[in-house]
Amino acid sequence: MDKKLLIDLQKVPHHVAIIMDGNGRWAKSKGMNRIFGHRNALTAVRESVEAASQVGVEAITLYAFSTENWKRPKMEIDALMSLLINSLKKELPDFMKNGVKVNSIGCIESLPYKAQKVLNDVISETKNNTKIILTFALSYGSREEIVNAVKNISKKVVNKELDLEKIDENTINNHLYTFNLPYVDLMIRTSGEQRISNFLLWQMAYAELYFTDILWPDFRQEHFYDAIIEYQNRERRFGKTSEQLTE
């Protein structure tokens, strides 16, 4: 049965965020090192973007490297950066063919120069694509993002470019890395862990959270659609009562 057929195309989440977890455990279960797990994570990335695009998801954001991930062994960090560089280069023709607009969030300046260069090139090449926005969260931490937003807003207040009384939710939102993205409707985390791990805290305020035991390298289109189906079966009340929603 094609799970895609079970999806109501009128109620697809606008923005899906994914915490791709379990690469290390997947590799260990096969008697291999963690880097082997990361290398085998790319099919899941491809399948998720493809699946999202096919049902009309507007934006998909992948937590590829957190601010905390800098604490990992240097060999693993180097391998992840090489993987990022090589896969971005390799995927560019497919991004163009499939209308994928690449975007990034996080402290991109802290990435190795080569990674920044390839990322910026791919962002620039794909900037006119319109089918789906694929955002890589790299050296990303949500609290750091919020701190930066507060600093930038404060500077504008001090410089009298912004009136303190006029600060509202939109002001905060417009100063986050994600200013150009819709709020997250659905967050998927693989590998059985049930945490948000400093990912898009503001943006996920009303997101549905979906946790699956599948380890990220095993995640496929059908699993992505399972998450969408579950999302569509939940009642999103945004603080209202069930009765108010049906009125």
Residue placing its CB nearer to ligand FPP in the complex, 41 or 100: 41
Q: Which of 38-46, 95-103, 123-131, 159-167 is the region at the interface with ligand FPP (rule: CB under 6 A)?
A: 38-46
Least gap, CB of 85 to ligand FPP (angstroms) = 9
| 41 lies in the site for ligand FPP, by CB under 6 A | yes
What is the x/- site pattern for ligand FPP, positions 71-110, by CB under 6 A?
---------x--xx--x-----------------------
| Binding residue (CB under 6 A) for ligand FPP from 13, 16, 24, 204 | 24
- Per the listing, tokens 């797990």 go with 37
Q: How many residues does the chain have?
A: 247
- Closest residue by Cα to residue 133 from 188, 88, 178, 66: 178
| 46 lies in the site for ligand FPP, by CB under 6 A | no
Least gap, CB of 18 to ligand FPP (angstroms) = 9
Least gap, CB of 61 to ligand FPP (angstroms) = 11
| 33 lies in the site for ligand FPP, by CB under 6 A | no
Residues that bind ligand FPP (CB under 6 A): 20-25, 34, 38, 41-42, 45, 64, 69, 80, 83-84, 87, 136, 191, 216
